[in-house]
Chain A
């Protein structure tokens, strides 16, 4: 750890960053707060409404449903992506020409625009023209993600696994590469089983990067909008309407600015709260 010196001029260094981020964050946030406590019928005429919209959102069944749907989705993709990512990282070659090949191919999904990911999976999973849809129907399973809620859910989850597991792989792989060879040799001599090597050498060394991976995956999956919107449009019915999709529907679709703003704030606070808890736990375990 670097010993830091007190320096008031440091503020000069951070001013451009603060100015740019504040411009983008504070002004829109003030707008949202403004809307969240007022009612408007257009023409820039506003009425004070207090916490009415917050109460309305928190009590609405629709919000509860999309919130639970969001939690279930985020939980599911974390449960799949983290172990899968670790498994792939553990089995990846450690050196040689295949490392580059693996890294480049695996990183590819991360750099595809999100709506293209949605469109690609739409084309891939179409029951008549898509490879996946044809294959599943060919196995005798009736599959049509545009009409069946379960199929739509699973397709969305598989799409997200396809899209983001590589991030976990890359981070876990970086953690594994930082382990010196002597650890593996010592483990061999101590007669450690593969499980013991994983449990006592690899996992502890990956702890830090895995925390970052889980944090990033939590944040990004909690904000997911474009991919499911393009894939399913939130349907069939509302079955894949996650928080962001719901929010955009209310704000831009129905132009209910008050409830949308209140929901935005609640949504943002939930993400912040979870990240804050994570961040604090991470900092505490690092200090140990």
Chain B
């Protein structure tokens, strides 16, 4: 078990670096606390797997350092990092039985047979593989095989970190939920640092204590699910997390005031960004938009009644604004006006929050 620090990591797969778009990872500088359950969340191709492989040592980063408990392991081979990793698609050793598959990582490290036996049986019981221990691994179904891959990741004790690279892709939905709760339970039992890569926000938010959101080769925010919801540090986080995502609207800053569609509005941002530098936008989640006679005029496009709440799609000029209204809120039929909750409305300059 260890604290993991990534210092100014950059990585590129091509050898000639002609421009910034060549970077698979642009600049990652984060610390992962010992024993934390992290989810690494982001769209496909944002660099999640690259980051994971840098931690596990399958890839040596082009720049920067990787520290485990303050010792530099940037160029330490995978086997000496004491990490476990489970891949997206099942990897099983076809020639071996299920038992031998689970015992394999332990045998390679010279653990005594009686200890191996006890540990393998314990893991098999947790994953409900007991009945299959003496079957050939090659004959199993896709989820059976993936359970073996998970088992091989969990079987070693005293690993620094266990990483899961979208491990439930091939598992069917009802089992997905079961295995995810199992992993969470396991995290509480063994207390190892776990990193769970996914592009599915539900998976990330249910598994993790901390969610690391990646976008376009950088980490845009690390926080608890609540923080990600209430204080998105980047418009991408606002978009990606929450359903529907945060409204992002263009605004003007002049003479110390913020104007949206010509109306002065209040925000939680205490500083005002320099209006000449980049695009300035305001972001507000649909949960913090309400009808108010003092607000600005919109046109209502669509109302989806989801039972406990309604999703209202409104429009002002060319901009769509989504809002969530309680089930008992009455939608005004004539000239509806809306306002934003100033405490949860923030300014973003070039995507990053202004605080």
A–B contact with Cβ pairs below 8 Å: the answer is yes
> Which residues of B74-103 have CB atoms within 8 Å of chain A's CB atoms?
77-79, 83-85, 87-89, 91, 93-96
Q: Is A209 an interface residue (CB 8 A)?
A: no
A182 with B88: in contact, given A191-B79, A200-B96 (CB under 8 Å)? yes
Chain A residue numbers with a CB within 8 Å of B96 are: 200
Chain B residue numbers with a CB within 8 Å of A199 are: 95
> Which residues of B142-181 have CB atoms within 8 Å of chain A's CB atoms?
149, 152
Interface size class of A (residues with CB under 8 A): 10 to 19
Q: Is the CB of A189 within 8 A of B89?
A: no
> Which residues of A198-223 have CB atoms within 8 Å of chain B's CB atoms?
199-201, 204
Q: Is A25 an interface residue (CB 8 A)?
A: no
What's the least CB distance linking B146 to chain A, in Å? 12
Chain A residue numbers with a CB within 8 Å of B109 are: 191
Q: Is the CB of A185 within 8 A of B85?
A: yes
Q: Is A110 an interface residue (CB 8 A)?
A: no
Chain A residue numbers with a CB within 8 Å of B104 are: 190, 192, 196, 200
**Distance A185 CA – B83 CA, assembled complex (angstroms):** 12
Q: Is A183 an interface residue (CB 8 A)?
A: yes
> Which residues of A168-192 have CB atoms within 8 Å of chain B's CB atoms?
180, 182-183, 185-186, 188-192
What's the least CB distance linking B1 to chain A, in Å? 17
Q: Is B225 an interface residue (CB 8 A)?
A: no
A191 with B108: in contact, given A185-B58, A186-B87 (CB under 8 Å)? yes
Chain B residue numbers with a CB within 8 Å of A189 are: 56, 58, 78-79, 83-85, 105
Q: Is the CB of A204 within 8 A of B94?
A: yes
Q: Is the CB of B89 within 8 A of A190?
A: no
What's the least CB distance linking A187 to chain B, in Å? 8
> Which residues of A109-132 have CB atoms within 8 Å of chain B's CB atoms?
none
**Distance A189 CA – B152 CA, assembled complex (angstroms):** 10
**Distance A256 CA – B104 CA, assembled complex (angstroms):** 63
With both beta carbons as reference points, the residue of chain A lying nearest to B84 in the complex is identified as: A189
Q: Is A193 an interface residue (CB 8 A)?
A: yes
What's the least CB distance linking A201 to chain B, in Å? 7
Tell me which of B83, B94, B109, B149 has the highest count of chain A C-beta atoms within 10 A of its own C-beta: B94
A190 with B108: in contact, given A183-B91, A201-B93 (CB under 8 Å)? yes
Chain B residue numbers with a CB within 8 Å of A185 are: 53, 56, 58, 85, 87
Chain A residue numbers with a CB within 8 Å of B89 are: 180, 182
Chain B residue numbers with a CB within 8 Å of A196 are: 104, 108
With both beta carbons as reference points, the residue of chain B lying nearest to A186 in the complex is identified as: B91
Chain B residue numbers with a CB within 8 Å of A183 are: 91
**Distance A180 CA – B90 CA, assembled complex (angstroms):** 11
Chain B residue numbers with a CB within 8 Å of A201 are: 93
**Distance A191 CA – B84 CA, assembled complex (angstroms):** 10
Tell me which of B57, B58, B149 has the highest count of chain A C-beta atoms within 10 A of its own C-beta: B58
What's the least CB distance linking B103 to chain A, in Å? 10
**Distance A191 CA – B83 CA, assembled complex (angstroms):** 10
Q: Is the CB of A182 within 8 A of B87?
A: yes
Q: Is the CB of A200 within 8 A of B85?
A: no
With both beta carbons as reference points, the residue of chain A lying nearest to B105 in the complex is identified as: A190
> Which residues of B202-222 have CB atoms within 8 Å of chain A's CB atoms?
none
Q: Is the CB of B95 within 8 A of A204?
A: yes
**Distance A183 CA – B53 CA, assembled complex (angstroms):** 14
Q: Is the CB of A186 within 8 A of B149?
A: yes
| Complex partner residue of A188 from B79, B94, B149, B152, CB under 8 angstroms | B79
Chain B residue numbers with a CB within 8 Å of A192 are: 104, 108
With both beta carbons as reference points, the residue of chain B lying nearest to A190 in the complex is identified as: B105
Chain B residue numbers with a CB within 8 Å of A200 are: 93-96, 104
Contacts A/B (CB < 8 Å), 15 sampled: A180-B89, A185-B53, A185-B56, A185-B85, A186-B85, A186-B91, A186-B149, A189-B78, A189-B85, A190-B108, A191-B105, A191-B108, A193-B108, A200-B94, A204-B93
With A185-B87, A190-B152, A199-B95 known, 13 other A-B pairs at CB within 8 A are A182-B87, A183-B91, A185-B56, A185-B85, A186-B149, A188-B78, A189-B79, A189-B85, A190-B105, A191-B108, A192-B104, A200-B95, A204-B94
Q: Which residues of B contact A (CB under 8 A)?
A: 53, 56-58, 77-79, 83-85, 87-89, 91, 93-96, 104-105, 108-109, 149, 152
Q: Which residues of A contact B (CB under 8 A)?
A: 180, 182-183, 185-186, 188-193, 196, 199-201, 204
Q: Please list the 9 inter-chain residue pairs (A to B) with the smallest Cβ-Cβ separation, ordered nearest first.
A: A191-B108, A186-B91, A190-B105, A200-B93, A182-B87, A188-B78, A191-B79, A189-B85, A204-B94
